Amino acid sequence: MRRYLLAASFAAAAVAIVADPAGALMIAVPQPGHLAITSPVVVTGKVTSIATDTVEAASPFAGAKDKLKYKIATVKIDTGLSGIDGTKVKEIKVGFVPPPDPNAKQPGLRPGLRPGRRPPELKEGQEAIFFLAKHPTADFYVIPGISAPFDISTPEGKKTLEDVKKVAATLADPMKGLKSDKADVRAETAAVLVTKYRAYPAFGGEIEEVALPADESKLILRALAEGNWQAARIGGAPNPFMAFNQLGLNEKDGWVPPIIVNVPGQPGPDYTVVMKDAFGKWLEGPGKDYKIKKVVPQAAK
């Protein structure tokens, strides 16, 4: 059992710490391909209205005791990609915390310093992919962390929508992908499943790790070992190398990271190739009976 709080604010998606030109550390926005896997609800739709008055509700994050004032947007659903059947549910309410008055003084900030990235603000008429989770106690959905709706009106947005639809189809029937006669399909399905199984709850809280059935785990691990660890596209689904890193293998699992030696004056070995080779050998030896562990919320006592 482990306690998980901080990373929940990033919706359990892959994020990165980067430096901006001003020298401050910032959080990179989670990619849509990851959000499509880790978000409980994914829909495409349009914000048709935003209520004038705010609604007070508890902060959704585990352990938080404060209350927040939400604006409530009505989103007309075009397609329910996961978590909601868009043929039965035509619209939903989505709560968001409106940004503070930009003209108001914000305590604790010196002139010239900007605050961190704020939760997304919805706008009437906005058409997008929405990555959502049901508020634990209130009757509306929220956008966990900084996973802003993704505009699908541009050529890039349309390409991203196809990626998200592909992820949703994979999750709808994962065994079809894992048993495909194409190695790249098996590997992509395996990477999606590992990312799903290793994702932490959207709002944090106590978690535990439960081993997958041996047959499913073997299919996933074998598919990862057969995949292309170098192929990746920003915005798309994770590749096998990214999924491998989420397994969290250690010495207790018989995993010993390979030693990479760089020879001065010569090109160094490709790290992903070395790791893939080591993973394949581990899978045939110490890891032959390893079972992937799924992260789940701890059952209430």
Residue 104, pLDDT > 60, answer no
Q: What is the rounded CA–CA span in Å between residue 180 and residue 178?
A: 6
Name the band, by pLDDT with cuts 50, 70 and 90, for residue 232: low
| Residue in the block written with tokens 């969290």 | 248
Residue 1, pLDDT > 60, answer no
Q: What is the mean pLDDT of residues 134-163?
A: 90
Q: What is the rounded CA–CA span in Å between residue 125 and residue 102?
A: 23
Q: Higher-confidence residue: 245 or 25?
A: 245
Residue 9 shares a structural domain with residue 129: yes
* Residue 63 maps to a domain: yes
* Residue 109 maps to a domain: no
- Total structural domains in the chain? 2
Check residue 103 and give its pLDDT: 61
Residue 54 shares a structural domain with residue 97: yes
Q: What is the rounded CA–CA span in Å between residue 130 and residue 108?
A: 32
* Residue 111 maps to a domain: no
Q: Higher-confidence residue: 260 or 285?
A: 285
Average pLDDT, the chain: 84
* Residue 108 maps to a domain: no
pLDDT in tens, 70-88: 999 999 999 999 999 988 9
Name the band, by pLDDT with cuts 50, 70 and 90, for residue 289: very high
Name the band, by pLDDT with cuts 50, 70 and 90, for residue 234: low
Residue 138 shares a structural domain with residue 247: no
* Residue 269 maps to a domain: yes
Residue 65 shares a structural domain with residue 135: yes
Q: What is the rounded CA–CA span in Å between residue 151 and residue 29?
A: 14
Residue 9 shares a structural domain with residue 125: yes
Check residue 41 and give its pLDDT: 96
* Residue 163 maps to a domain: no
Residue 77 shares a structural domain with residue 181: no
Task: Quickly list H helices, the chain.
Answer: 32-38, 155-172, 174-178, 183-197, 214-226, 240-247, 271-284
Q: What is the mean pLDDT of residues 234-242?
A: 82
Check residue 277 and give its pLDDT: 96
Q: What is the CATH number of the domain that holds 33?
A: 2.40.50
Name the band, by pLDDT with cuts 50, 70 and 90, for residue 169: very high
Which of 14-23, 60-69, 86-95, 231-240 has the lowest average pLDDT? 14-23
Which of 41-45, 89-93, 144-148, 175-179 has the lowest average pLDDT? 144-148
Check residue 300 and give its pLDDT: 55
Residue 57 shares a structural domain with residue 181: no
Check residue 141 and give its pLDDT: 97
167: how many CB neighbours lie within 10 A of its CB? 27
Cβ–Cβ < 8 Å for 1, 208: yes
Residue 134 shares a structural domain with residue 85: yes
Write out the residue range of the structural domain in which residue 236 sits: 168-297
Cβ–Cβ < 8 Å for 92, 122: no
Residue 188 shares a structural domain with residue 279: yes
Q: What is the rounded CA–CA span in Å between residue 288 and residue 142?
A: 41
Distances (CA, A) of 5 to 11, 39, 207: 11, 17, 10
Check residue 146 and give its pLDDT: 72
292: how many CB neighbours lie within 10 A of its CB? 25
Residue 4, pLDDT > 80, answer no
Q: Does this model's pTM top 0.95?
A: no
Residue 77 shares a structural domain with residue 213: no
* Residue 178 maps to a domain: yes
Q: What is the mean pLDDT of residues 246-269?
A: 86
* Residue 107 maps to a domain: no
Among residues of the chain, what percentage have pLDDT more than 70?
82
Distances (CA, A) of 253 to 139, 166, 193: 43, 32, 20
Please report, as a single letter, which amino acid is at residue 50: I
Q: What is the mean pLDDT of residues 210-233?
A: 93
Which of 104-108, 167-171, 235-239, 281-285 has the lowest average pLDDT? 104-108
Residue 132 shares a structural domain with residue 203: no
Residue 135 shares a structural domain with residue 220: no
pLDDT in tens, 38-67: 999 999 999 999 999 999 999 999 888 899
